[in-house]
A and B are shown apart, each in its own frame.
Chain A
Amino acid sequence: MPSRRSFIAGMLAAGIAPKPTWADAGNPAFLSAGMKPDGSYVLCGLSADAQITFERPLPARGHAAAAHPNLADAVAFARRPGTYAIVLDCVTGQQKARLTAPHDRHFFGHGTFSADGDLLFTTENDFEAARGVVGIWDARHNYARIGEFSSGGIGPHDIKLMPDGTSLVVANGGIETHPETGRTKLNIPTMQSNLSYLSFDGKRLGQMQLDRAHQKNSIRHLAVSAQGDVAFAMQWQGDLTADLPLLGTHHLKTEKIAFAEQASIRNMNGYLGSVAVSRNGNHIATTSPRAGILQNFKGTELFDQTVITDACGVASSKTDFIVTSGTGVVQSRSGLSVLHDVAWDNHLIAI
C-alpha cells in the first residue's frame, strides 16, 4: 500500500490533488529559521515535542516566518534589509512562490496572513521616503503583489492579525535605516515608535505612542491574545544606564497600557528578542538573547524566569511556552529539552 505521502505525490502528478495541508507536512506545531553546522540556512518545522518535522534550505539567513492558516505554506522572510521572501510547500519542500520586494522597498523580516489565508501582509521599508509600508500579496494567485499602504510610522517590524480577523497591529519601531548604510540607525535622537492598528485597506483604526521617557524605546515584536490584548516587546536605543520596562500590554478599545516592570533595561540588557502570549491569555513570555533569560509573566507580574544562553524564539504551546536558542536548544518551562544541530534564529512561529 502506498504511503500517504507517495499517494499525495501521485495525486499531485495527476493534477487532481487536494491542496496539501499541515497534516500532510507531518503536523508541525512551530516554524523556525536556523543555521546548520556547515553555515547553510534552513527553515524547519518543529513538532509539539520539539522534533524536527521538516527542513528546507533557504538562500540566505532568515528571520521570522508566517504559516498559512490552512495550507501547508510557510513564508520565510529574509533578514533585514533582505528583498526576498520564499513560500515553501512544506509537504514537497518545493518553492511555491518567491516574493520580491519592489525595487525601492525591502522587507523587515515579518509578515502575517489574513484569517482565511487569502492575503499575506508584510512589513517593508520605503527607504527613499523614510516611511514604513505594509505590502499586500494575494496567496490565491501565486502571491502576486496587489497593493500596499502606510504602516503608520517609520521602521515597521512585527505585524500580527487582530482576533477580530479584519484588522492588523503593526510595531513601528521608529528607527530609520537605509539599505546603503546596512543596519546603521540614522535617526536615534528623533526616533518615535508606535503601535498602529490598521484595517486591511490601510485605514488607521488607532495608534498608541508611549510618553517622552520612552522616546528611545523601539517597539519591535508583538503577541496578541484572543481578547485583543497586544503584548509589545521593545529594544532600548539609549544608554543602558537608563532603567525602564521593555515589555508592555495595550488594548485598543480601553486604551489601557500596562508595563511589566521586571522586563527592564537592567534585567534584560536593554533588548527583548521575542514575545508570546499563552493560549488562555493569562501569561506573557519574553526572551532576551543578550541577557540569556526567558521571563514568564502572569499579567504583568513576573511569575518565573529561566536562564537560557542566547534564548530568542518563544511561542505558546497548549499549556506552556516553548523557547529556542542560538545554541540549538528547544526547551519548555515544564522540562522538555531537545538539542538540535541547528542554531535557531530569532523567532519561533506557532502554526
Chain B
Amino acid sequence: MNRILLLSTLIFAAAPVFAQDIDIKAIVDGHVLPRYQSLAVEAADLAQSATTDCRPDSDTLIAAYHDAFDAWIGASHLRFGPSEQDDRAFALAFWPDPRGSTPKALSALLQDQDAAVASSREFATVSVAARGFYALEFLLFDPQFSNTANADYHCALVQAVATDISLNASAILGDWETGYGALMSKPGNDTYRTQTEAAQQLFTSLATGLEFTSQTRLGRPMGTFDRPRPNRAEARRSARSLRHVQLSLRATQELAALISIGHVGVDKAFEAAIQRADTLDDPVFAGVTAPQRRLRIEALQQNIDLIRNMLAQEVGPALGIAAGFNSLDGD
C-alpha cells in the first residue's frame, strides 16, 4: 500500500512540471520525421529493386529488403496518428502471427494466381497477413515460397508486396509532413489539446515499444523454460531476430533521452541493455533451448524490463501519467 500511495502522491506532486519541459517539436523534427523519411526512402528503393530484379537470389533486392526492414524497425515504436490511419502499420508489419496467417494467405494467392497483384489499388485490399515485410520475408527466404514452380507469378507477387510497402511508407510520411507533425508540435488543437497530451502520446509509444521488444520479440521465442520456442523468433528466416531487438533499443533510447530529460538512470539502463544485445552473438535466439545461452537472453530481457520499470515509476508520473494498477492493465 505504501508504494501505491507514494506513487499516487508522486503523480499529483510532479504532474504539471516536466511535461512542459519536453520539446515536442524537437522530438517530431529530430526523431519522428527522420525515421519515417528514412522508411519512405528505403521502401521506395525496395520497390524499385524488386521491379528491376524480383528473384529471391538478387543481391540488390536482398540488400534493399534489409535496409527497408531496418528503417521500419527504427520507426515501429511510433504507432499513432498517420501509421494507424487505414491500418497502414498493420499492413507493413503483420507479426506476431500465431496461427500462421501469413503463409496461409500467401499460399492462397499463389495457388489462385490471384489477379490482385496486377494493381496496387487491388493489392491494398488483400488480407494484411499477405502484405508487408513479414510476407516479403516468406517470399524471399522460405524455401516453400522462394522456390515456387510459377516464377512469373512469384515475381509479380514480390513486386506487389514491395510496391505496397512503399505506398504505405510514403502515405505515413505524407501525413506527418502535411499536418500531423504540426498538430503534435504545436498543441492546442483538436488532436492534441495540451502539451501534456502530446508528451503522453510519445511516452506511451516509448513504453509500448519496449514492452513489445521484451515480451514479444524476446518472450515469444523464449516460451517457457520447459518449452522454448525458437521457431517463433521474429524474422528468423532472414536472421533478423536479434537485429530487431538492437535496432528498436537504439530507436527507443533516442526517444527516451528526449523525453526523460536528464534522467541518467534511464540512459545507463539503455546502455547496459544495448551492450548485452550487441555481445549476445545469437542472431535468431537459437540459444533459448540451451540453458547457459538461454540465461543470457533472459538477462537481456531483464535489462529491458528494468528500463520499463524506471519509465513507469519515475518518468511517467512526472509526465502526469498514472502508473496505475488498473490503468495499465487494459481489459
Contacts of A182 in B (CB 8 A): 215-216, 219
- Which of B84-92, B163-171, B279-287, B307-315 forms contacts with chain A? B84-92
| 224-283 of chain A: CB within 8 A of chain B | 235, 238-241, 243, 271, 273
Contacts of B96 in A (CB 8 A): 180-181, 184, 186
- Which of A8-16, A97-105, A140-148, A323-331 forms contacts with chain B? A323-331
Contacts of A243 in B (CB 8 A): 190
Whether B3 contacts A80 by the Cβ 8 Å rule is no
A326, B327: Cα distance in complex, Å: 8
Contacts of B81 in A (CB 8 A): 239, 241
Tell yes or no: A188 within 8 A of B by CB: yes
**From B87, B91, B216, B322, contact of A289 by CB (8 A):** B322
Whether B327 contacts A343 by the Cβ 8 Å rule is no
Contacts of A183 in B (CB 8 A): 330-331
A343, B325: Cα distance in complex, Å: 7
Contacts of B84 in A (CB 8 A): 238-239
A342, B4: Cα distance in complex, Å: 9
User: Number of A-B pairs whose CB atoms are under 8 Å?
Assistant: 108
Whether A178 contacts B191 by the Cβ 8 Å rule is no
Contacts of B322 in A (CB 8 A): 289-290, 292, 309-310
Which bucket holds chain B's interface residue count? 35 or more
**From A189, A310, A346, contact of B90 by CB (8 A):** A189
A252, B190: Cα distance in complex, Å: 35
Contacts of A235 in B (CB 8 A): 330
Contacts of B233 in A (CB 8 A): none
Whether B329 contacts A346 by the Cβ 8 Å rule is yes
Query: Residue on A with the closest CB to B80?
Result: A239
Whether B3 contacts A35 by the Cβ 8 Å rule is no
| 4-56 of chain B: CB within 8 A of chain A | 4-5, 8, 11
Whether A184 contacts B8 by the Cβ 8 Å rule is no
Whether B220 contacts A310 by the Cβ 8 Å rule is no
Tell yes or no: A336 within 8 A of B by CB: no
A312, B330: Cα distance in complex, Å: 11
| 168-202 of chain B: CB within 8 A of chain A | 190-191, 201
Digitize A1-44: 1 where CB-to-B-CB distance is under 8 Å, 0 elsewhere.
Answer: 00000000000000000000000000000000001010000000
Given A180-B98, A341-B1, A290:B331 Cβ within 8 A: no
Whether A181 contacts B4 by the Cβ 8 Å rule is no
Digitize A327-351: 1 where CB-to-B-CB distance is under 8 Å, 0 elsewhere.
Answer: 1100000000000011111100000
Which bucket holds chain A's interface residue count? 35 or more
Tell yes or no: A109 within 8 A of B by CB: yes
Contacts of A312 in B (CB 8 A): 326-327
A341, B201: Cα distance in complex, Å: 32
Contacts of B191 in A (CB 8 A): 241
Among B3, B4, B87, B96, max chain A CB count under 10 A is at B4
* Distance between A221 CB and nearest chain B CB, rounded to angstroms: 10
**From A128, A184, A189, contact of B128 by CB (8 A):** A189
Tell yes or no: B324 within 8 A of A by CB: yes
Whether B90 contacts A130 by the Cβ 8 Å rule is no
Contacts of A181 in B (CB 8 A): 96, 98, 216, 220
A-B contact pairs, 24 of them (CB 8 A): A37-B1, A130-B99, A157-B331, A180-B229, A181-B98, A183-B331, A186-B98, A239-B80, A240-B201, A243-B190, A273-B326, A289-B324, A289-B326, A290-B327, A292-B327, A326-B4, A326-B324, A327-B4, A328-B5, A341-B1, A343-B4, A343-B325, A345-B326, A346-B329
B interface with A by C-beta (< 8 Å)? 1-5, 8, 11, 80-81, 84-85, 87, 90-91, 96-99, 128, 190-191, 201, 215-216, 219-220, 229, 232, 322, 324-327, 329-331
Apart from A130-B99, A180-B229, A343-B1, what are 12 other A-B pairs with CB-CB below 8 Å?
A35-B325, A178-B98, A183-B331, A184-B96, A189-B87, A239-B81, A239-B85, A290-B322, A309-B324, A326-B326, A327-B5, A327-B324
